[in-house]
Chain A
């Protein structure tokens, strides 16, 4: 008897991975029926828009703290959306908003960090991650992605590579 239940328990836990549990939990959430959008005819539409886009999308100190807590971060560069407030007319060419070079990055922490950052900023964040070795290789061979980012408007939050 004892043996049987044990076997059953084992097989059950094997057929039900955690991911499946999560998906089942999310099912009862109903889809939205009503959708909302900005009304361009609003009296202060342009004024409000300028105000919001100009305001800083993040707190730098807080961000540096959180990024350095992700792992052995050697380099963290912001660009794109994070700098758009300085001059909204200058469109950044860079393909990422946040770029991190580091080893042993905690993926779970990273995911939740990005999620909360997106909630704060109000927009999807284009993100790049590289290990130190890969970055140095690419940097050495003037890789286009790395060059566009570092030649364009950007801000280094963390810089332990002496760039």
Chain B
């Protein structure tokens, strides 16, 4: 028998970065929104360094852009 299904945070486990998922949620749920790194880090309650890294990655693939 399979394990009982519990309501689960699918995205957080589908992607391997919790910080990234939080950022995506923030950007898409409050779209259109502009946010700086510090602002973002405060809003999603994740360390600045982690946010910086994800911003860099997401900007490289073109999902987010500088204003």
Contacts and interface: CB of A to CB of B under 8 A. Distances in A.
Interface of A: 29-39, 41-43, 45, 48-49, 51-53, 55-57, 59-61, 81, 115-116, 118-124
Interface residues of B, number: 38
Contacts of B67: 34-37
Closest 4 CB pairs of A and B: A32-B36, A122-B25, A122-B26, A119-B45
B36 A33 contact: yes
B62 interface: yes
B62 to A, nearest CB: 5
Interface of B: 6-11, 22-40, 43-46, 55, 59, 61-67
A38 B62 contact: no
Given A29-B38, A36-B67, A52 B29 contact: yes
A57 B36 contact: no
Given A52-B29, A119-B43, A36 B7 contact: no
